[in-house]
Amino acid sequence: MAKQRGGAGNRRSGVAAAALGAILPGLGHGYIGRWGRAALLVLPLLGLIALALVALEMPTLDLLGILVTPGALRGILAANVAIVVWRVVAVTDPYRLSRGDRSTGRFATVTLIALLVVLPHVLIAKYTLDAAHALDQVFVTGDVTPLVKLAAPAPLDPKLQGREDEVAEVADPSSVTSTTRRAVKRPLLFTEGVGDPDAVALPIRVREPKQRSLSSLLGSDYDGVSRLTILLVGGDAGPGRSGNRTDSIMVATFDTETGKSAVFGIPRDMTHVPIPEEWSTAFVELEKRLTPWDERRLWTDEDGDGEPDQFESCECFPERINAIYASTRNWVDTYPDEVDPGLAALRDTLEILLGLDIDYYAMVDMSGFVRLVDALGGVRTYVPSPIETEVSPANEGDEWIIIDLEPGWHRLDGREALAYVRERKSTSDYTRMTRQRCLLRAVAAQADTATVVRRFTPISRAFASSVRTDIPRELLPALLRHGSSLDLADIATVGFVPPYYAPVMDSRGRPTPNLLRIRAIVRWALSAEAETEFDTGRQSECRV
């Protein structure tokens, strides 16, 4: 009797069995009465359900931290292949075992069902390979070509002729021996009687050689990290730009124990910023050229050493701080182990300015910013005041970008967002800095898991083509895991703008920093406890 029931089952439609097997592995075998095989095919499904339940219980960033490791990506690819084989067997095997009609049309139908089953797994494999490629491109630590190769200056657009001054690359101090180098104990900024009184009162900051390897920062335990600080830079190379200046400079720091984070914005035109002692005389010639003519014409050389007797270097960067990168990006002898020498030089300079150790840096070019915003489907942001402007495009050959925005909420595409954060004709650089910080918060707030999954391929491509960092790839899981503790709605955003943080202007009307005030607000932000509220009663500068 059992054989007769089994035989009757086998005479059922093989196409129906294949379709049921596509819906749920094992269901097609049960339909034709092959319960033993059905049970074997259901067992992997139970394992996948258990794994999914565990994943759903994990915080999203913790889960992402696991998935972005090379081992996990290889495991996903291997598991995906195994699942494809399992599901194809669940479709084709019950058709093979059935005794129904075996016409060409039915065989073609089963083949189509099998292909439909395979299709989602092709997409999974594509997503996985896209993720692996993006990670390989973005996290370029190790034996790599410095980013100087990736950031060649663009030719000056005729529309901007005369409006952008060239920044000459400065000779690498570790590859040049100068006969005019003089030992100066401290920069003039710190010298009593002629320097900034607040700066004179500061203790000398001894800069020890930094070990930036993963083991020195983390030891063997990722959970030992209590604070991470990252330099975030927006490169402004592109059509009509005379070089790759870092027109957007922010330092983000977050406490992994309290969840408190802060973003410090440094004005691009801040000048006379103290620089590391090891290359403190690298900009002496630039400093001389920038000295006002009324002073230079009085210089003399009584001792005949080829140096003006009246000149004493400030041991600072005499130009705007956004030009440090363009001036130092070829310093491969001074920074032989860095992904990008120019960003390393900017990082070391900002460490002195802020009194804060910066662990890593990350840079995105403007064209990448456009692609990232477009990949997210645009960014919704609040525009507090009317903006009407025209800015140069991010890519050669594109049309200039024109925006006309009224106050209120707007969803900006990539080009509009670029114009929004670069516009400074109708307002000041410092208002522009506020827009940059607020847009950064808006992008972070809108890059939710559903959006990232839905738009994963364009997002990964945008990152791969335009973001570079020296963050070790091994640290990424810990960063994502600790990032789950951050409160994006409670970020201290501070711009070091005049007059409070830069009360003194140089001879060209550019702000010079007050180190005591800058470092004081940095210390305040770093000392925040979990219950500290960054909102001081004033309206937040950002609406997210």
| Alpha carbon 90 to its chain's center | 43
Averages of pLDDT over runs of 10 residues in the chain (544 residues) are 47 85 92 91 89 78 72 88 94 87 86 94 88 75 39 36 51 60 42 52 44 38 62 68 68 78 86 88 84 81 76 84 88 84 92 90 77 84 82 72 85 84 69 72 70 75 78 74 59 82 86 90 78 47 59
Q: Answer for the pair 345, 324: CB distance below 8 angstroms, yes or no.
A: yes
pLDDT for position 194: 47
Element (H, E) at 261: strand 261-265
Query: The whole model's pTM is what?
Result: 0.66
pLDDT at 197 (0 to 100): 56
For the CA atoms of 352, 353, 356, 360, the dihedral, rounded to the nearest 10 degrees, stands at -80
Pull the structure tokens for residue 375.
Answer: 């990949």
CA dihedral sign of residues 209, 211, 216, 217: positive
- Characterise 537 by phi-psi region: left (phi > 0), alpha (psi -120 to 50), beta (else): left
Q: Which helix (H) or strand (E) is 130 found in, with range?
A: helix 104-138
Which amino acid, one-letter code, is at 490?
D
Q: Rounded to an integer, what distance in angstroms lies between the CA atom of residue 387 and that of residue 401?
A: 13
Nearest by Cα to 77 from 116, 132, 25, 117: 132
Tell me what pLDDT residue 215 has. 35
pLDDT at 179: 34
Q: Which of 501, 505, 536, 537 is nearest to 520 (CA)?
A: 501
- CB of 109 within 8 A of CB of 15? yes
Q: What angle do CA 104, 107, 108 make, to 5 degrees?
A: 85
Parallel, antiparallel, or unpaired for β 408-412 and 467-469? unpaired
C-alpha distances out from residue 432 to 251, 366, 412, 495, Å: 16, 15, 16, 10
Helices (H), 291-424: 293-296, 324-328, 341-354, 366-375, 414-422
Question: Could you tell me which residues come within 8 angstroms of residue 202 by beta carbon, excluding any fewer than 6 positions away?
Answer: 190, 515, 516, 519
Distances (CA, A) of 88 to 111, 188, 189, 356: 10, 75, 73, 57
- Which pLDDT score is estimated for 83? 94
Helix or strand run (H / E) with residue 253: strand 246-255
Helix (H, G, I), strand (E, B) or coil at 309: coil
Task: Check residue 103 and give its pLDDT.
Answer: 83
Q: How far apart are CA 217 and CA 221, in angstroms?
A: 10
Domains of the chain listed by start with CATH number: 2-138 (no CATH), 147-204+215-526 (3.40.630.190)
Radius of gyration of the chain from its Cα atoms, rounded to whole angstroms? 30
Across 108-135, b (16+ Cβ under 10 Å) vs e yields ebbeebbeebeeeeeebeebbebbbebb
Instruction: Give Dmax over CA atoms of the chain in angstroms.
Output: 120
Cβ atoms within 10 Å, residue 384? 16
